[in-house]
Amino acid sequence: MAAGRAAELGGSVTLAEKMSSTARKLRITGGGRCNVTNVAMLNDFILHFGASGKFIRHAIARFSSQDLISFFKKLGVPIVVEADGRAYPSRGSAETLARALEHWSRTQGVDVVTGFPARRLIERDGRIEGIAVQTYSARNSSAVQSAASSEHVIQADAVILATGGASYPATGSTGDGCTMAKRVGHRVVPLRPALVPLLARCKTLSQLQGLSLENVEVTLVEGDRRVAQERGELIFAHFGISGPAVLNISRYAVIGIERGSSVKAHIDFLPEQSDDQLTTLLLDQFNAHGNKMVRSVLSGFLPARLATALISTAGVDPDKKANQIMSRERRSIVRCCKEFVLEISGHRSFREAMVTSGGVDLSEVNPLTMESKLVRGLYFAGEVLDIDADTGGFNLQAAFSTGWLAGTSASTGSS
């Protein structure tokens, strides 16, 4: 997006691609389905970015989700918006989007050079002069001038770093852009996996493996302090928990674990019911089905495997008849339904993280242009910046919006 936009405005643009093909991460987004954006209104949209929402506001306003949808429609890739505001290609997939984007950038005149890893920025007296790339890739582009036996230089009036973060490193995102930015004086907020599954310890975890639950509420507690809460889908895995409700609060778990704190997930499986309402419901059900086993009664409004696990955690025999349940046992079952506690012992690696938390410090970047405040002619786009959001298309829109704005600014010399 950054390269194509800069070329569209008349710039002479070389896209130096580290991998053998472009847009590798885009091609696997959403399991290949690609939740490309979200049509939430601007104020609601930026809330999903937390502290970085103020920074990203201008880029989203300049190139919005509607602008992106119109952009892809013109490229022959219509986008359909689902009931929750998430938008996907109506025909095709992430691969379709990636191909359309690459074709568009080439038609704008972008010289796309693959297998071409940039290694450092060339800067003099606070002004960008180009990039240095590995020698073995030099044969792929006429824009390269020999600088030394080990590297070649692409001279440029402007450079846009759009190298991604460190998630899904097999796609080429290994933090290179942050390393290059740091070498020219930028501060980099430490990179951490975000939107990442969490490792958990629980005696009944093996019973719950593979269970997917909708509309549960997950509260993350660090020490004795509640740090995040999210409602949505939760998935139990052999290692712990995943799903949108978990992924959206995982960044706080990662930070807490890094600090050495005790981190726990408190799960409310019936958030629409208060403790008193659930108590009343159980009393009514136990009275109506007194001769049934308690796990059968609870399975009337919870998945059977979950009901059995919760009753066992409550210290109650799942095969005990409902009319034999004592009040303290009922209270214990209610507590487990409303506050099932998992000890969070860790998180999955960058290989499974959907995005990266951390990156180039936003205070050192102009949000109106995406230009560095430290080095003239240096611009940033996408996940190389310290920006990450919830699931739902927000992160991809941020990448496209900052790419469009960086390309615009770099080509026109906006500052």
Which residues have C-beta within 8 Å of that of residue 185, sequence separation ≥ 6?
A: 374, 375
pLDDT score, position 151: 83
Q: CA 415, CA 184: separation in Å to the nearest integer? A: 19
pLDDT score, position 138: 42
Mean pLDDT of the chain: 93
Average pLDDT score over residue span 355-369: 98
> Residue 182's pLDDT band (boundaries 50, 70, 90)?
very high
pTM of the model: 0.91
| E strands in 95-224 | 111-113, 118-124, 127-134, 145-146, 151-155, 159-161, 188-194, 198-201, 212-222
Question: Which pairs with CB-CB distance under 8 Å and at least 24 residues apart come from 10-13?
Answer: 10/411, 11/158, 11/407, 11/410, 11/411, 12/109, 13/108, 13/109, 13/110, 13/111, 13/411
Nearest to 265 by CA among 304, 191, 208: 208
Query: Residue 267 pLDDT more than 90?
Result: yes
The DSSP bridge pattern shows strands 378-380 and 159-161 to be: parallel
381-to-84, 160, 183, 372, 404 alpha-carbon distances in Å: 27, 7, 18, 11, 8
Q: Are 403 and 2 in contact (CB under 8 A)?
A: yes
**327: its two tokens:** 């009040």
Query: Residue 214 pLDDT more than 70?
Result: yes
Looking at residue 329, its amino acid is E
| E strands in 7-99 | 14-16, 37-38, 79-81, 86-89
Concatenating the DSSP letter of every residue in 187-225 gives -EEEEEEES--EEEE-TTHHHHTT-EEEEEEEEEEETTE
57-to-43, 62, 280, 378, 387 alpha-carbon distances in Å: 8, 9, 47, 20, 12
Average pLDDT score over residue span 173-187: 96
Q: CA 19, CA 16: separation in Å to the nearest integer? A: 9
pLDDT in tens, 184-195: 999 999 999 999
193-to-32, 208, 278, 359, 395 alpha-carbon distances in Å: 21, 25, 37, 11, 14
Query: Residue 406 pLDDT more than 60?
Result: yes
Query: Residue 259 pLDDT more than 80?
Result: yes
Give the residues across from 200 on adjacent strands: 344
pLDDT score, position 129: 97
Give the residues across from 212 on adjacent strands: 235
Nearest to 24 by CA among 13, 14, 32: 32
State the CB neighbour count (10 A cutoff) for residue 330. Answer: 19
Dihedral sign, Cα of residue 214, residue 88, residue 357, residue 170: positive
pLDDT score, position 414: 61
pLDDT in tens, 278-327: 999 999 999 999 999 999 999 999 999 999 999 999 999 999 999 999 99
pLDDT in tens, 115-125: 889 999 999 99
pLDDT score, position 312: 93
> Residue 135's pLDDT band (boundaries 50, 70, 90)?
low
**136: its two tokens:** 């073995």
Residue showing tokens 């969490």: 198
Count the residues in the chain.
415
pLDDT score, position 2: 98
Query: How many CA atoms are closer than 13 Å to the CA of 200, on its beta-carbon side?
Result: 29
Q: Structural domains in the chain?
A: 2-192+351-412 (3.50.50.60), 197-348 (no CATH)
pLDDT score, position 137: 41
> Residue 230's pLDDT band (boundaries 50, 70, 90)?
very high
Q: CA 400, CA 34: separation in Å to the nearest integer? A: 13
pLDDT in tens, 31-62: 888 999 999 999 999 999 999 999 999 999 99
